[in-house]
Structure 1
Amino acid sequence: MPLFSKTPTVEEQLRANDRVLKKTQRDLERDRNKLERDEKKLEMEIKKAAKEGNKQACTVLAKQLVNLRKQKARSYNTGSKIQAVGTQQKLMHSNMKMAGAMGTTTKTMQQMNKVMDPQKTAKMMQEFTKESMKMEMSEEMINDTLDDILTESGDEEEQDAIVNQVLDEIGIDITGKLLDAPSAHKGKLGESSKARTTDDDIEQQLAALKDL
C-alpha cells in the first residue's frame, strides 16, 4: 500500500460524489416505499378498530399514522435537498471549467502580446498595401500593352461585316444609307482613328514596368 495516496482530480471527485448522492437517494426511496406500506397497513388497522368500537386503539394507531406521515414528509424533504446538492455540485464544476477556460485564454493573449510587435505588424501591412498597388499597376500596364500588340487593324472591318450580315438576314438594307457616312475607324485622311502601336512604344512601356 503506498504511503501517499494520489489526490483525485475534480472529475474523479465529482463522479465519486455523484455515486454517493445516488446511493443515498436510492436508500431514501426504499425507506419511503416501506413507510407507504406501513401507512396503508395502519389505515386498515384504524378502520378495523373503528368498526369494533375500540376508541383507544384508534387513538394510538392515529398517532402512529401521524408520526409516520411526518417521517415520510421529512424523507421527501431530505431527498429534495440531496438532489439540490447534486445540481449545485454540477453547477460549481461547470463554473470551474469556465474559469479554467478564461484563464487559458488570458495566458494565450498574454503570450501573443509578448511576441507580437504592433509597429512591425503595421509596417508589414503598409508594405503589403504598397506591393499590392504596384502589382495592380503592373497588371494594368501589361494588359494595355498586350491589347495594343494583339489588336489587328482589320478587327473593325470584320465587325462591320458581321453587323451588315446580320442586318441583311433580318431584311434591313443600310448599305446605301451609309455610303456617304464617315468610317467609324478612319479620319479625313483615311488613317486609323487609333494610332498604331510602334515597336518603340512597346519598348518604352516594358521599360516603365521594370522601374516599378
Structure 2
Amino acid sequence: MESVQKLFGKKPTQDEMVKKWQREIRTQQRSLERQIRDFEEVEKKTTNLLKQNAKKKDTKACKLFAKELIRTRRQKTRLYTSKAQLNSIYLQLQNQLATLKVSGTLKKSTEVMKMVNGLARLPELSKGMQELSMEMTKAGIIDEMIGDTFELMEDSDIEEEADEEVNKVLFEVTNGLLGEAGAVPSENPELEEEEEPAALDEMQARLHALKS
C-alpha cells in the first residue's frame, strides 16, 4: 500500500502514518525481544561457568566471569527498559488515533518526543528510531530535540564498582561460597589478563557481537 502511494505521489493520511509508526514500533520490540533472549542465554552460560570455577576456588576466573555477568545483566535491563518505552510510545500513538477521530488532527506530545529521542541514541534502535523521529517531527507530533537524553553504561562504570558488585554476584550465584561472606581477594590485573580462560574469550566475543 505504501509503495503504491509513493508511486502515484499520494500523501498518506495522518491515520495511515500513525498506524505505520505503530507497525514499526512492534518490529523494534520484536528485535529487542530476540536480543533479550540472547542475553539470557549468555547470562545462563556465564553463571554456570562462574559456579564451576567457584567450586574449584579459582577466584581469578570467578572475578572475570562475575564482571561479565554484571555487564550482561545491565545490558538486559537496558533492553527491557527500552522495550517498555517502545510500548509506551505505541499506547501514546493509540491515544493519538482516538484524538484524531474527535479533533481531526494529531496532538503534539512532549512525552513521546523525550522517549523517541532517547531511544534514538541506543545502538540497537538508532536507525529505526531516528527515521521515526524525523517522520513524527514532520507530522508535528514532536519537535526536533537536541542534547543527550540517555546515558549508556560504560565498562568504566563496572570497573569502578567491580570489587563491591563482583562480591555480591559471587555470593548470589555460589550460595554464599564466595563473595560477601568473605570478600574475594584482589588479584594482579596483569596476571588476570595472562590467565584469562578460553571460555571467557568466547563469552566476551558473544557479548561483543550482541552489542554491535
The structure whose Rg is larger is 1
TM-score of the aligned structures, taking structure 1 as reference length:
0.45
TM-score of the aligned structures, taking structure 2 as reference length:
0.45
